[in-house]
Every structure is written in C-alpha cells, then in structure tokens.
Chain A
Amino acid sequence: MTALAFVVVAAVFTLMRAVLTSGQPVDEIPWRTFTVNISGAFLLGIVVASTWWNNPVVATTAGLGSLTTFSTVAAEAASLLDNGCKGRAMAYVGITVVAGIAAAWFGLSIGEMS
C-alpha cells in the first residue's frame, strides 16, 4: 500500500513540477522553478518537524522530493551562462540557496508548533 502510494505520489508531484516549470525563457531567471523549489522546502520543513506525521516517507521522499529539483537549477544556471547572462546565473543560484534555507527554517518553526 505504501509502495503504491509512493509510486502515485511521485508520479503526480513530478508531473506537477514538469507542467509548472516548462516553457520558461532561457535568458531570464526561471522564477517558476524558484517558486516550486522554495515552496517545497517550506512544506518539507513543516512535515519533518510535525509530531503528528508518523510515517512521512510518501509525503517527503516521494512528494516534496520529486516536486523540488536540484539538477534543473544547475541546468538553468548553465543555460543562463550559455546565453551570456552571467550575473543572472549567479543571482539565480544565490537566491535559490538563501531563500530555500530561509523557507525551510520557517517551515521547521511552524511544524514544531503543531
């Protein structure tokens, strides 16, 4: 049952990411990928810090793990570099890391209240 839930949730969250992040311009900061990653980090913070979620592997590993992506950030930064947008590539990676950690911290704080 857990295995089936894992497969379904992983498929659904992967598709959500694919649809939400497809078709972004290659020479601008991909804000939709940024939004998906930061939201996922925030939600994962809530789930892992919550005491009421006993077996979160489907929600965390299959769901939010598949929703967010690390390799796409690298690909998008490389794409920005290829298109001559060095500053945007650096800014994109920098704000993704800083905002992601801040969002995760905020999520952990909220999760601990539950």
Chain B
Amino acid sequence: MSRFRLDAGDLLAIAIGGVLGASARWGITFISTDATTGDWFVSAPNTSLTAGTTITGSESVGAGHAIASASGIPVDTLTVNLVGCLLLGALTLLLIRSTTTSRRLLIGAATGFCGSLTTFSAFAVEVAWLLRAQPVFASRPVGENVRFDRDVPGLALYVVLSIAGGAVAFAVGRILADRFVGSAPNPTIGEPA
C-alpha cells in the first residue's frame, strides 16, 4: 500500500504490528463466538427433523444428536474489518503528514496492525460457505447434523456491510484524523499511501 522502500526497522515494526493485529482479531473472534457451538453462526435446534432423517450433504441423524440449523452474519469478521478500515483511513492520512521519526511506527500500525487485524480470506470463505448451505468444518463436533440455511438476504447484507461499510469507515477515519491532527503537511516526506 505504500511506495516506501521497506528497511529492516520497518519490517520489524510490521512484524510486531502484525502479531498484535492477528492477536486482536483472534480475541474479537473469541469473545464473539457462541459458547455452545464454538462458532459465530446462530445455531437453533430444529425440531422438525426426527432421528433417522438424512440431511442433504450429511449423515443420517442419530438419536442422541442435536439437530440444528445455522445462519447469520459473521459479526467478528465484520467488526475487525470495519475497525481496521477506520484505523487505516486515519493512518494513511497521518503517514502522508508524517515525519521520519514517526513514519516507522505508522507503517507498523498500518501495514502490520491494520493489515493483519483485517482479513479477506475469512470474509470470502464465510460467504462461500454460507452460499453452499452444507456442513463443512466436519472436524468440529458442531459439524454433525447442523444444516446451514442458505440465507441469501443475510449474505447480501454481510457483503454490502463489509464493502460499503469498509469504504465509509475508511473515509470517516481519514476525516477524523484530518480534523484532530490538523493540517501540517510535510511535503518532503509526504507521499500518497
């Protein structure tokens, strides 16, 4: 995202920022997951199915198995992505106006922290997964006999909230940074991020 040449100190700052960003993302995922299912989706018991029923793409329902259908918006991924876009919007403006001493910290925060706090792969897999409407995560206990509803309105909302929300959050971050930091451009260092 930057045309700066990265030196060893920049890489160290990016690595530290990356670890903090990934840890923060893990923490947000951890606190937002459902304690009973261990995952982000809403899982509700489905009493319309009885033992012995075969669910599409799954094994037949055993007598002792919980039967559930799952749908919902992955709020943890949405949260980290929107917060990361807001932060990065502010940081890109600060980078343009940075001095040499603060530049490394800002690069670590932008490329490292924001880059790793936000994630594209989880977004893509969640959308694909819910579009498929069939159980994956077979290694997890919840994978058994959980039917994934193809919740198209919910999915569309998730995609729109992520993309449009990300753009808005980025713009807001930039405006807020501009307002609070004020204009102190440094033309010798400044470069569009």
**Using a Cβ–Cβ cut-off of 8 Å, how many residues does chain A contribute to the interface with B?**
66
Q: Does B106 contact A (CB under 8 A)?
A: no
Q: State whether A15 and B81 are in contact (beta carbons under 8 Å apart), knowing that A74-B88, A112-B136 are contacts in the complex.
A: no
Residues in A with CB closer than 8 Å to B159 are 97
Q: Main secondary structure on chain A at its contact with chain B?
A: helix
Q: Is the CB–CB distance between B84 and A49 below 8 Å? A: no
Residues in A with CB closer than 8 Å to B166 are 70-71, 73-74
Chain A 23-42 per-residue mask, 1 if CB under 8 angstroms from chain B, else 0: 11110001001000100110
For chain B residues 1-15, which have a beta carbon within 8 Å of chain A?
A: 1-6, 11, 14-15
Q: Is the CB–CB distance between A71 and B19 below 8 Å? A: no
**Which of A14, A44, A54, A67 is most buried by chain B, counting CB atoms within 10 A of its CB?**
A14
Q: Is the CB–CB distance between B123 and A79 below 8 Å? A: no
Q: Is the CB–CB distance between B115 and A14 below 8 Å? A: yes
Q: Is the CB–CB distance between A71 and B121 below 8 Å? A: no
Chain B 104-147 per-residue mask, 1 if CB under 8 angstroms from chain A, else 0: 00000001101111111111110111011000111100000000
Q: Is the CB–CB distance between A78 and B170 below 8 Å? A: yes
Q: Does B26 contact A (CB under 8 A)?
A: yes
Q: State whether A15 and B18 are in contact (beta carbons under 8 Å apart), knowing that A75-B88, A104-B124 are contacts in the complex.
A: yes
Q: Please give the residue numbers on chain A whose beta carbons come within 8 Å of chain B beta carbons, in ascending order.
A: 6-7, 10-11, 13-15, 17-19, 21-26, 30, 33, 37, 40-41, 43-45, 48-54, 57, 60-62, 64-79, 82-83, 93, 96-97, 100-105, 107-108, 111-112
Q: Please give the residue numbers on chain B whose beta carbons come within 8 Å of chain A beta carbons, in ascending order.
A: 1-6, 11, 14-19, 21-23, 25-26, 29, 81, 84-85, 87-89, 92, 111-112, 114-125, 127-129, 131-132, 136-139, 159, 162-163, 166-167, 169-171, 174, 192-193
